Chain A
Amino acid sequence: MSLLNWMVWALSFAPFNVIKGDNAVRTENPEQQALLERASRAEPAALGALYDQYADKIFTYIYHRVGQAEVAEDLTGQVFMRMLEAIRSGQGWRSSFSGWLYRIAHNLVIDYYRRRGRVTLVDIDDATPLRATHGDPVRSTETLLDREHLRAALFQLTEEQAQVITLRFMEERSIAEVADLMDKTEGAIKALQYRAVLALRRVMQS
């Protein structure tokens, strides 16, 4: 292997490691570990089980970011297709599977908005009806408008801030879970949450 090839080979790993972080900790239990092992070998049954475990969660996460059920469904499918692509190319998860999967979802949401030219408010007629508001049309409309306002506000935050707001307060995940999903320490999540709420308040007031 020539020197140039060696340099390219070595350097190509650098950004991945920087992005990934070194505090990778396997958090899954032994049964889940076994399932993940089988999935990494592309066993259909294991892949199906993983899909069933995470599909609704990923859908919920994406829905909270994009606000349209159809888009969320489409992106959910893409998340799992990327999972298969990663397995195919041998570049699957190396630490927390759920965190890895959420990062794919997060990146797809970013790509989605990047393609659409940042955030676009969903027309109130196109917004997905919610199950709340017990039939009061005025309240329903207000809720939808609030949601769109919130979604627009989230896009004024950093990606990490928006992610922590979504995971903590819209998905009701614990600090520890968010830390696992975002591959950070709990202390870092608390600090990030604080900054995120501060920023969100500023944005929503402005």
Chain B
Amino acid sequence: MTTSSDDILAGLLAECSDLILAGATVRSCLDHYPEHVAALEPLLTTLAEVHEMRAVPVRSAAAAAQTREQFMTAAVRLSAEQQQAPATWWERLAAWWAGFVALLTPPAGGWSLPRGMPVGLLATMIIVILAGVLVTGGVTVSAKSLPGDFLYPIKTTTERVQLFITRDPAARNILEQKLSGRRIQEAKAVAEQGRTLASLPLDGTIEAINGDNWTVSGLNVTLDPSVQILGNPALGARVRGVMRAPGDGRLIVFYVEVEAPTTGLVSAAAAANPTATPTRRAPTATPSFTPTATATADALAADSALNRPVQHWREPDDWTPAAPTATPTAIPVRTATRTPRPTRLPTLTPAPTSTLHPDLPPARPQITLRIEGWVERIEGSRWIIDGTPVNTNGATQIIGNPGVGWEVSALVVQETDGSYTALQIAALAPPEATPAPVEFTDILESMDGEWWTIGGTRVKIRGDTAIVGDPQVGDLVKMTGKRHQSEIWAERIERIFPLFEFGGIISAVSGSSIVVDGYTVLIDSQTEIIGTPEVGRVAEVRAEKMDDGRLIGKKIVVGPPLPPPTVTATRQPTPTPTSTPSPTPTPTSEPTSTATPEPTPTPTSEPTATVTPEPTSTPTSEPTATVTPEPTSTPTSEPTSTTVTPEATPSPTLEPASVRNVGADGLTESCAVNRAVR
């Protein structure tokens, strides 16, 4: 085959493949290019076979939600990192190199040369690998570096790459612990050497609390008087934060976030009751408060054992989630996360039950938390962020000049009266120029007036919201709408039903239904029909199955007409009852075809009326004996044996006559007017 003929065939294949993807058959495509049938047919047959195998299982809502939650957690963390630590040019360069060198490190299975790799490219890569070897030396040397050293960024970046490529959870956990221990050792070394550093990471477990002096994983640190603490410090809790080394051997913590205790001195009860974190389905940044499970009694016992005064925070008496979405709901598809990491996702950590320690005054009575969301309005010094009033004062730091409609992140302090005072309000994103479209599919969890909760996200039902399929709590629904600042306004909520795909011969067609392979498929305005549905043709159907068993067609692809059957007037109709759950209508047509339709049930339907009983007795490939449902048909009219037209497709052999209202929504309002009589 010449190159030019290859080009021609490639072009024809592209055209035909488009047609086949649109529902055409191989044969109909070949008819367009009879001179290329020999070359095209095997190719088209192959791609048609591939195309038939394209069905994908429905993605697990629970798994999808968990994946999204992990992503959003990482995204928020990344955002915080980038805002906190803008890298210098040489840090970026070092990071780039370290990542590049890591990429050049052979994987466990060794390299395999990709097929078709140009020799030039291979040569270039070899040179780069050699250069990388030189740099790898820098990575090795950097292993002993300390914060502040020139090579230290290479060390940390290499570690990040190590973490990134370690996918096994157990191995990753071990590596994380190892790296955490390395940070602690580095901080110790920095303090011992009297180095001065403006920023050092803190990551470890609280082993002792003595006033403002804490011991974290063996590292003695001092809290800065102005420290902002997120979370509830308790023995055994994991803390992350930032500290500085003033050069006098001390380590001063000026920012700290505390996770719920999970190990060591933590009670089993706390560990056994993981905090259910409400998941934000859409990135609406609605404040969601997460009460952290802590076990005060056990912590007390541990405190007593250590014989040290321990700070306990006072739980606000009137603590209630401020935002409607704050209530952690038990959603079947949600997975309770063990310990929510303090991130920029707003989390509120109320103190454990202070009633157990009435004699211990709270050393740090303030509770800080972050609220992310859209600024709904600004009333003087009071900002309403996603429905939560936040007071500002002269000390409030406003970053980025946010205003109404902006997405902001507010660091707030909860006052004793339960109100919030902002320490800082930082702009995250400007107002949306146009309402952002929102679309997701999830479980309908509650229907509270105009507010429905779908997959943890509240959406507003408005007068013009289209509600399709009568969704109820627990149903899977698809929501499409628009985000208006902090609210999502639903435009359409449609119940999603299980999809079924099947194919077969069309045995009956009407304006509102089609019978394929013995199954009656209802047609509505959403049904996509490709090709001309006619009795005797082959059709592939994708349909939703309702609770009552009805099938609502979503896509019907009709094949070309089969060779016309030989029909004779004396041919006996041979209805073949299909296997159905309860074939109540009994086929009664007799070989003599002398059925005399009784005129008593007055035909009230249009000529398009179709008998669509579920357990229909459906003739398949055989010529179908039909009665043309003329309203004026006389009782003595003979059933005419003919091919069925879409306008007249009543099944001829149903007894007794029935009037079925198949669809309450008017999909099929058909009347059976034929009764076959022996």
Q: Please name all residues of chain B whose beta carbon is closer than 8 Å to the beta carbon of A85 when the two chains form the complex.
A: 164
Please give me the residue from chain A that is nearest to B504 by CB atom: A134
Q: State which residues 81-109 of B face A: CB under 8 Å.
A: 81-82, 92, 95-96, 99-100, 107-109
Assess whether B115 is interfacial by the CB under 8 Å rule: yes
Instruction: Tell me if A56 counts as interface (CB < 8 A to partner B).
Output: yes
Residues of A within 8 A of B17 (CB): 168-169, 193
Decide if the interface of chain A is mainly helix, strand, loop or mixed: helix
B562 within 8 A of A: no
A44 near B283 with CB under 8 A, answer yes
| Measured CA separation A206–B319 after assembly (Å) | 70
CB-nearest residue of chain A to B280: A48
Q: Which of A76-99 contact B (CB under 8 A)?
A: 76-78, 80-81, 84-85, 87-91
CB distance from A104 to the nearest CB of B (A): 13
Q: Which listed residue (A12, A42, A168) contacts B82, Cβ 8 A? A: A42
Q: Check B6 for interface membership: any CB of A closer than 8 A.
A: yes
Q: In the complex, which residues of chain A have a beta carbon less than 8 angstroms from the beta carbon of B79? A: 42-44, 47
Indicate whether A201 sits within 8 Å of B46 (C-beta atoms), given known contacts A11-B128, A168-B17: yes
CA distance A183 to B107 in the complex (A): 27
Q: Does B57 contact A (CB under 8 A)?
A: yes
Main secondary structure of the interface of B (DSSP, over half): helix
**CA of A35 to CA of B403, assembled, Å:** 20
A24 at the interface (CB under 8 A from B): no
Size of chain A's interface in residues, with CB distance under 8 A?
76
Report the separation of the CA atoms of residues A12 and B129 in the bound assembly, to the nearest whole angstrom. 9
Task: Report how far A200 CA is from B42 CA in the complex, Å.
Answer: 11
Q: Is B666 positioned at the interface, with any CB of A under 8 Å from its CB? A: no
* Residues of A with C-beta under 8 A to B364: none
A184 on the interface (CB 8 Å rule)? no
Query: In the complex, what distance in Å separates the CA atom of A7 from the CA atom of B131?
Result: 9
Contacts of B10 in A (CB 8 A): 190-191, 193-194
Alpha-carbon distance between A70 and B60 when the two chains are bound, in angstroms: 9
Query: CB distance A51 to B429 under 8 Å?
Result: no
B78, A88: Cβ atoms under 8 Å? Answer: yes
Distance in angstroms from A78 CB to nearest chain B CB is 7
A191-206 interface bits toward B, Cβ cutoff 8 Å, 1 = contact, 0 = none: 1011001101100100
- Judged by a CB distance under 8 angstroms, whether A132 is at the interface is yes
* Cβ 8 A contact of A60, one of B56, B109, B116, B439: B56
**Given A14-B128, A44-B344, A197-B13, A130 and B429 contact (CB-CB distance below 8 Å):** no
Asked if A150 is at the interface (CB within 8 A of a chain B CB), the reply is yes
- B409-443 contacts to A, CB under 8 A, are 428-429, 436, 439-440
Q: Which of B22-44 contact A (CB under 8 A)?
A: 42-43
Tell me the chain B residues, 17-76 only, with Cβ under 8 Å from chain A. Answer: 17-18, 21, 42-43, 46-47, 49-51, 53-60, 63-64, 67-68, 70-72, 74-76
Most B Cβ at <10 Å: residue of A84, A129, A197: A197
Interface residues of A in 37-94 (CB under 8 A from B): 38, 41-49, 51-52, 55-56, 59-60, 63-64, 69-70, 73, 76-78, 80-81, 84-85, 87-91
- Residues on B with C-beta less than 8 A from A52 are 68, 282-283, 439-440
Say whether B167 contacts A78, CB under 8 Å. yes
Contact residues in A for B53 (Cβ distance below 8 Å): 143, 146-147, 150, 170
Residue A128, interface by CB 8 Å: yes
- Say which residue of A8, A77, A175, A190 sits within 8 Å of B67 (CB atoms): A77
B 265-306 binary contact with A (CB < 8 Å = 1; else 0): 000000000000000001101000000000000000000000
Q: What is the minimal beta-carbon distance from B454 to any residue of chain A, in angstroms? A: 14
Contact indicator per residue, chain A 152-174, by CB within 8 Å of chain B (1) or not (0) = 00000011000001001111101
Name B281's closest neighbour in chain A (CB-CB).
A52
Minimal Cβ-Cβ distance residue in B for A146: B53
A114-B7 contact, Cβ under 8 Å, with A44-B79, A169-B51, A197-B13: no
Q: Contact between A84 and B75 (Cβ–Cβ < 8 Å)? A: yes
- State which of B56, B112, B502 has its C-beta within 8 Å of the C-beta of A133: B502
Interface flag for B324 (CB, 8 Å): no
List 11 other contacts, CB 8 Å, given A44-B72, A48-B71, A128-B57. A11-B127, A18-B120, A45-B429, A49-B283, A73-B64, A77-B71, A175-B14, A194-B10, A197-B43, A201-B46, A204-B49
29 contacts between A and B (CB under 8 A): A8-B128, A11-B128, A12-B100, A15-B128, A18-B120, A42-B78, A42-B79, A44-B79, A45-B428, A47-B75, A47-B78, A47-B79, A51-B71, A51-B72, A55-B64, A69-B63, A73-B60, A78-B167, A111-B107, A115-B108, A131-B55, A132-B55, A132-B500, A147-B53, A150-B53, A159-B114, A168-B47, A194-B13, A200-B46
